[in-house]
Amino acid sequence: MLSFINEIDDPIVQRDILDLNRRILLFREGKLNEESFRSLRLARGVYGQRQPGVQMIRIKVPMGLLTFDQFRAILNVCDEYSTGKYHITTRQDIQIHHVKLEDSPELWAKLEASDVTLREACGNTVRNVTASPLAGLDPKEPFNVLPFADTLWRFFLRNPVCQEMGRKFKVAFSSSDEDTALGVMHDLGVLPAVNAQGEPGFKLLVAGGLGAQPAPADVLHEWVPVEELLPITEAILRVFDREGERAKRQKARFKFLYQSMGREALLEAIERERQAPSGDFPALAFSEHEPSAPERIEEAVAPEGHEAWRRANVFAQKQPGFFAVGIRVPLGDETTSRTRELLDALAPFTSNTLRLTQSQDLLLPDVVEANLPMVHRILSERGWAQLGFQAAVDVTSCPGTDTCNLAISNSTHLSTVLEDLLEEEFPHMTYDREFSIKISGCMNACGQHSLASFGLHGSSLRREGAVMPAMQILVGGGKRANGEWSFAKKIMKLPTKHVPDALRTVLVDFELNQLPGETFADYFLRVGDRYHYDLLQPHVDGDAPDLFVDWGSDQAFQPEIGVGECAGVVIDLVSTLLLEAREKLELGREALAEGRWGHGIYHAYAAQIAGAKALLVRDGHKTNTYADILESFDREFVAAGQIVLEAGSFTAQVLSYLGGHSSKDFAQAYFNTAEAFLAELDALSATSNSSKAS
């Protein structure tokens, strides 16, 4: 077991994997409670799935960039530990299913040997940093954002500032102001921008999100210098970490904190947090994408339909003579054997790199024009040349009830039905990239249904004393002619078997009444949601057969909703919190020994918070946010005289790091204060327990 770990050069990564293996053993032996273990494994990409006894493994692919060799490493672990199948997500990750928990450390070790990680693919962390699929290739981009996205994700990987936030935090880099990475729906959206003086920088969007209460991102800064990106991002994370909700999970995303604070208060809080000592920010440097020449240039007879394929699936890059080829992967699901065969065939004619897209597809960059017929032939002969890359016929869908605990009704089979309908009845939509269909198995929007022209999320309806599978229909999301994004609005619930007819009705109505040049999002705003409610009303009581049987099933529908793990749970066990406080203090000690003063200070900060929370939880006091913990501990323990602090208050003691320095002396002094504080808490807790016992 774990013999492969010796092939990993980084001792920090080795230790991380060995720690996961150790915690699995402790969990199996009953020495680690389930909630604490869940939080740890989620941050390592190990996620519970609908079927008991097996795990979903989420593989982090920053910006969706993969070399062929890295992809082969993923395919190999899919074969060895999973089912020979994989799933591309809407956030440029890869997921594999039905993995045994005990196999996850060795699987992770084998991936890390190819510079692929699971770390922080799930959990209350900075999740996978995504980017426009054409970033670095886009003729419309002012500069290549990929080097900056790469620096950002690496800086926050294992960074203590963002390991245990109230909820997850998502970042997207778009290649231009068209926002093709969907920064509008992210906690932080980063768009390249050039100011009036011609200086390159970034436009920052904050507090976007989907889910049950979707919210478009707000503009935090129209332009900031490149060197400000990391300091501002870290400050935002520090604000979210301290002020964000932790007890009420449905209100714990950054968008809710922003809605309560407002833009001006957030800006003030960011400036305050920028006084905190930090690790050294790495230098940010511009770098343009340079295509590597393919091994071979070979004349080939183009397959039938070559011009249609080029129109639907091929994009000219900003690098003269190079093209990017879109490859549809229906539902984002594929097998390892087909993919491995494809990579081997393409390798001589490409740069041996691929990109995962938010539409759950693949993008093959850097193909020279002379090789396009050969690449088309390779794809066509192997069944990979389906037209409509990122077009209306390319339906986006999460795995739904196939594997997810939270899914209500099936999304994957319905997606296939809708794709078939469009290709048969609306073939011109093979080239339409303005109309989109996105499906989620539940309201949490992993399928991004709130941004779709025609969006759906899983639901149910009760009729005749029984429950039938249903879809909540949302209409009108997408890009408007002025470049702004609109979020779709809920129209009504329909039985899932009526959804194809409803889609047909919406499309026919649009094509009959569309004004010249009008996008569907603009059309929806013109006619309104009530118009579409009346339009779809006849489909509520249609006569489709088997209304009580979901797509892809032959059994009567039974909604089975489990407990989701989209983010780690809140742990409120006193003993666990005190143990965590000591563990954080040890992490701080290690950081100081390694000269990482900023990290040592943060670990000492978090240790004090965890220790104070333990006593507050024990006595039933409010601990919804870290800010609550500071205030409550001062009121209940310091003001009551149960504990005396040299700083005068717990708040002053903990927040003394603001305005401090990332120096050895300051970090050591702050750590010593935290260590003494935890010793006092242990004594106070022991005294209290002794009194209760007597």
Helices 626-633, 229-243: crossing angle, 10 deg rounding: 50
CA dist 451 and 436 (Å) reads 8
CA dist 423 and 437 (Å) reads 13
With CA atoms as reference, report the closest residue to 673 among 613, 616, 600, 618: 600
φ, ψ (nearest 5 deg) of residue 473: -95, 130
402-422: average pLDDT? 79
In a domain, 120, yes or no: no
Report yes or no: 255 and 209 within 8 Å, Cβ to Cβ: yes
Report yes or no: 456 and 440 within 8 Å, Cβ to Cβ: yes
What does R_g of the chain's alpha carbons equal in angstroms?
26
Given this model, what pLDDT does residue 572 score? 39
> 478 and 367, same structural domain?
no
Least confident of 146-150, 158-162, 376-380: 158-162
> 250 and 197, same structural domain?
yes
> 526 and 404, same structural domain?
yes
> 137 and 255, same structural domain?
yes
Q: What percent of the chain has pLDDT over 70?
A: 93
Average pLDDT value for the chain: 90
Report yes or no: 276 and 658 within 8 Å, Cβ to Cβ: yes
Given this model, what pLDDT does residue 362 score? 98
In a domain, 515, yes or no: yes
359-387: average pLDDT? 97
What are the tens digits of pLDDT across the range 431-476? 999 999 999 888 777 888 999 999 999 888 888 778 888 899 999 9
407-428: average pLDDT? 88
In a domain, 562, yes or no: no
Judge whether residue 175 has pLDDT over 60.
Answer: yes
Given this model, what pLDDT does residue 694 score? 44
Burial 356-391 (b: 16+ CB within 10 A, else e): bbbbbbbbbbbbbeebbbbbbbbbbeeebbbbbbbb
> 339 and 247, same structural domain?
no
Judge whether residue 571 has pLDDT over 50.
Answer: no
In a domain, 679, yes or no: yes
> 46 and 21, same structural domain?
yes
Judge whether residue 509 has pLDDT over 90.
Answer: yes
Given this model, what pLDDT does residue 407 score? 59
Given this model, what pLDDT does residue 563 score? 47
> 411 and 373, same structural domain?
no
Final residue belonging to a domain, choices 539, 559, 590? 539
Final residue belonging to a domain, choices 327, 358, 381? 381
Judge whether residue 559 has pLDDT over 70.
Answer: no
> 185 and 312, same structural domain?
no
Task: Output the domain CATH number for residue 228.
Answer: 3.30.413.10
Given this model, what pLDDT does residue 405 score? 59
> 137 and 260, same structural domain?
yes
Task: Output the domain CATH number for residue 44.
Answer: 3.90.480.20
Domain count, the chain: 5
Judge whether residue 331 has pLDDT over 60.
Answer: yes
In a domain, 568, yes or no: no
Given this model, what pLDDT does residue 146 score? 98
Q: What percent of the chain has pLDDT over 90?
A: 69
Beta strands (DSSP E) in 551-662 are: none
Given this model, what pLDDT does residue 409 score? 67
> 375 and 351, same structural domain?
yes
> In terms of pLDDT, which residue wins out, 546 or 314?
314
Beta strands (DSSP E) in 61-106 are: 65-67, 85-88, 94-99
In a domain, 561, yes or no: no
Given this model, what pLDDT does residue 27 score? 87
564-576: average pLDDT? 50
Judge whether residue 117 has pLDDT over 90.
Answer: yes
What are the tens digits of pLDDT across the range 197-212? 999 999 999 999 988 7
Judge whether residue 107 has pLDDT over 60.
Answer: yes
Judge whether residue 54 has pLDDT over 50.
Answer: yes
> In terms of pLDDT, which residue wins out, 406 or 278?
278
CA dist 674 and 584 (Å) reads 10
Amino acid identity of residue 640, one-letter, is: A
DSSP letter (8 states) at residue 222? E
In a domain, 282, yes or no: no
Given this model, what pLDDT does residue 637 score? 93
Task: Output the domain CATH number for residue 318.
Answer: 3.30.70.2500
Given this model, what pLDDT does residue 44 score? 85
> 516 and 410, same structural domain?
yes
Given this model, what pLDDT does residue 8 score? 84
Q: Return the structure tokens found at 594.
A: 């390694």
Range of the domain at 322: 306-381
H-only helix segments in 82-203: 104-112, 146-156
Residue 96: pLDDT band by 50, 70, 90 thresholds? very high
Final residue belonging to a domain, choices 381, 409, 433? 381
Strands 55-59 and 94-99: antiparallel
Burial 96-116 (b: 16+ CB within 10 A, else e): bbbbebebbbbbbbbbbbbeb
What are the tens digits of pLDDT across the range 635-648? 999 999 999 999 99
Task: Output the domain CATH number for residue 609.
Answer: 1.20.120.330
Given this model, what pLDDT does residue 292 score? 85
> 218 and 167, same structural domain?
yes
Beta strands (DSSP E) in 64-187 are: 65-67, 85-88, 94-99, 130-131, 171-173
602-626: average pLDDT? 91
357-381: average pLDDT? 97
pTM as predicted:
0.91
In a domain, 283, yes or no: no
